[in-house]
Amino acid sequence: MVAQAEGVNVDVDGRDARFVVVSNRGPVTFSRSGSEGSGEREYSRGAGGLVTALNAVLRHRRDAVWIASAISEEDARVAEEALRDGVPYEVEDLKVVLVEHEGEAYDLMYNHLANPLLWFVQHGLYNLPYTPELGDSTKRAWEEGYIPVNENFAEAVARTLEASAQEGEEPVILVHDYQLYMLPLFLRERLGDGAFISLFSHIPWPEPDHWRVLPEYIREDVLRSLLKADVVAFHTHRYARNFARTAHEVLNVEADEEEGVIHTREREVWVRPYPISIDPDEFKKLAQSEEVLKEEEFVKDLPGKLLLRVDRMDLSKNVVRGFAAYARMLERYPDTRGEVTFLAQLQPSRGDIPEYASYARAIQRAVDEINEKYGTDSWEPIVLSMEDNFPRSVAAYKNYDALLVNAVRDGMNLVAKEAAVINERDGVLILSENAGAYEELGEHALTVNPFDIDEQAVKIYEAFNMPDDERTRRAEVLRQTVIENDIEEWVKAQLKDIAAHPKWRGT
């Protein structure tokens, strides 16, 4: 299949390129049916927006291979089989290679380095007078966790390419996210300069001074590795600029922020924004599915107007402040009491990390206090769900009057896009100015400073009381914006740049 990238033919599946996608979380995770796990092999979809987006991209590209971590026990069996048989596992039109890591190394990478440290630095979540407390344990998590897991991935990519190599074909390796920052370096060591490597960071890139919170060895090694890629990609101009500035200040490389190019001695690295999106048709279809229609009965039964949030249970999502803002609205505008319900669909996430576990408790406490203070026999102000119920979230997407996305910082936030496409009530989007989606959608949303509780309270009230014609106008533009800039546009923009890159053109 040949993908057209505006005037340039990029043969994505055949002669010229062999596409390999690499991410920590894979498209599916496997399990065994039956109480003892003795039954049939089953699978469920991986969590998070990244997986949903890459799924939509790869499903129709049969030659591409997706390499990801084996997370469950059954994943590990799938990984062993692939290693033994030398062929990827085929599932839902995808070719998947799962990589098994040594347990402790993976724990150090995921629970001690990537998710607390890199995630917190890049989302600005630390309370700097007190945290983080870096030291020997950080170094150990880096050396015995992050590095070996990245090496292991590099080996898997090299093996996969070797097993499927064809004459005259150059690999295009699309690496995703902050769990795999060292991969460009380790891939170059194994594959040399021929491979085209792109690293897509799906989370914000902070200002240079904030990056300097990291110990020098991480701060510099990550940047050196990323500059072994040909393209370093982000969701917004702001993150791309922050990255170019950080590389310049920390490594003293020549960076042209406006052009989005960093020159090193070895290569030209393009630093580019590609705002990720969704497959609108998939969501429209999902909205009519039986499971979603069933969940709609529950959602439509909630009293009054509906305020909705749908998030992974993550500190960056600013859930507790969102509840405080809602409570302030109830306090300030007593006429809203009993007339609105706040449905919070929160998907459990990273529960082995102490900060996440205590955040989950803080969420529960905040909800209990507000429901205790304002609730009545016939009205629960906040309906909280802390389980993974995607059909219910989609049912709620269709029926909200206002959607709250008040993230402290967020790489993109696909909830804002998914919901806009299928909402049936001309719902108003209340959007943090620190969400990546703000660059595209901010103009048509009610925007908020995520730290300002009073402002959020007023905006929630304003959303509920907006004149109908303005609601309709805003909702329509939001929907069209997402439909026009869908997931295929995200892919096309990247293919176009690969085709235009001097490395690809051989110049």
Does 235 interact with ligand F6P (rule: CB under 6 A)?
A: no
Binders in 127-156 for ligand F6P, by CB under 6 A: none
Provide, rounded to whole angstroms, the least separation between the CB of residue 348 and ligand F6P. 9
Stretch that binds ligand F6P, among 8-16, 45-53, 375-383, 453-461 (CB under 6 A): 45-53
Helices 415-422, 468-484: inter-axial angle, 10-degree rounding: 120
What is the CB neighbour count within 10 angstroms for residue 297? 9
Task: Identify the residue among 17, 21, 25, 106 touching ligand F6P (CB under 6 A).
Answer: 25
Task: Identify the residue among 47, 286, 386, 500 touching ligand F6P (CB under 6 A).
Answer: 47
The C-alpha atoms of residue 372 and residue 369 are separated, in whole angstroms, by 5
Question: What does each C-alpha distance from 118 to 104, 140, 187, 439 come to in angstroms?
Answer: 19, 15, 21, 23
Half-sphere exposure of 294 (CA within 13 A, CB side): 6
**Tokens standing for residue 3:** 């993908």
When CB distances to ligand F6P are compared, the closest residue is 48
Provide, rounded to whole angstroms, the least separation between the CB of residue 50 and ligand F6P. 4
Question: What does each C-alpha distance from 351 to 27, 30, 101, 357, 392 come to in angstroms?
Answer: 21, 20, 20, 5, 22
Question: What does each C-alpha distance from 297 to 217, 282, 294, 301, 392 come to in angstroms?
Answer: 54, 22, 6, 6, 10
The C-alpha atoms of residue 411 and residue 202 are separated, in whole angstroms, by 5
Provide, rounded to whole angstroms, the least separation between the CB of residue 55 and ligand F6P. 12
Sheet harboring 89-91: ordered strands across? 89-91, 94-99, 65-69, 17-23, 170-176, 196-200, 231-234, 268-273, 261-263, 254-256
Provide, rounded to whole angstroms, the least separation between the CB of residue 177 and ligand F6P. 4
Tell me whether residue 96 or residue 307 sits nearer to ligand F6P (CB atom): 96
Task: Identify the residue among 350, 398, 444, 479 touching ligand F6P (CB under 6 A).
Answer: 350
Instruction: Return phi, psi of residue 306, to 5°.
Output: -110, 120
Task: Identify the residue among 177, 295, 410, 497 touching ligand F6P (CB under 6 A).
Answer: 177
Provide, rounded to whole angstroms, the least separation between the CB of residue 445 and ligand F6P. 21
Tell me whether residue 63 or residue 107 sits nearer to ligand F6P (CB atom): 107
Stretch that binds ligand F6P, among 48-56, 121-129, 208-216, 382-390 (CB under 6 A): 48-56
Provide, rounded to whole angstroms, the least separation between the CB of residue 252 and ligand F6P. 30
Task: Identify the residue among 20, 50, 213, 367 touching ligand F6P (CB under 6 A).
Answer: 50
Question: What does each C-alpha distance from 435 to 413, 414, 415, 430, 456 come to in angstroms?
Answer: 6, 10, 11, 11, 15
Binders in 388-427 for ligand F6P, by CB under 6 A: 411
Provide, rounded to whole angstroms, the least separation between the CB of residue 76 and ligand F6P. 17
Element (H, E) at 382: strand 382-385
Task: Identify the residue among 17, 64, 203, 431 touching ligand F6P (CB under 6 A).
Answer: 203
Task: Identify the residue among 112, 202, 210, 417 touching ligand F6P (CB under 6 A).
Answer: 202
Non-local (6+) Cβ contacts of 416 within 8 A are 403, 405, 429, 431, 435, 437, 441, 445
Provide, rounded to whole angstroms, the least separation between the CB of residue 152 and ligand F6P. 17
Does 215 interact with ligand F6P (rule: CB under 6 A)?
A: no
How many residues in the shown chain lie near ligand F6P by CB under 6 A? 11
Helices 487-500, 49-58: inter-axial angle, 10-degree rounding: 70
* Percent of the chain that is helix, strand, coil (3-state, to 5): 50, 20, 30
Binders in 294-333 for ligand F6P, by CB under 6 A: none
288 Cα distance to chain centroid: 25
Does 67 interact with ligand F6P (rule: CB under 6 A)?
A: no
**Tokens standing for residue 368:** 């209990």
Binders in 439-458 for ligand F6P, by CB under 6 A: none
Stretch that binds ligand F6P, among 46-54, 289-297, 320-328, 377-385 (CB under 6 A): 46-54
Does 287 interact with ligand F6P (rule: CB under 6 A)?
A: no
**Tokens standing for residue 412:** 């993109």
Rule CB under 6 A: which residues touch ligand F6P? 25, 47-48, 50-51, 177, 202-203, 349-350, 411
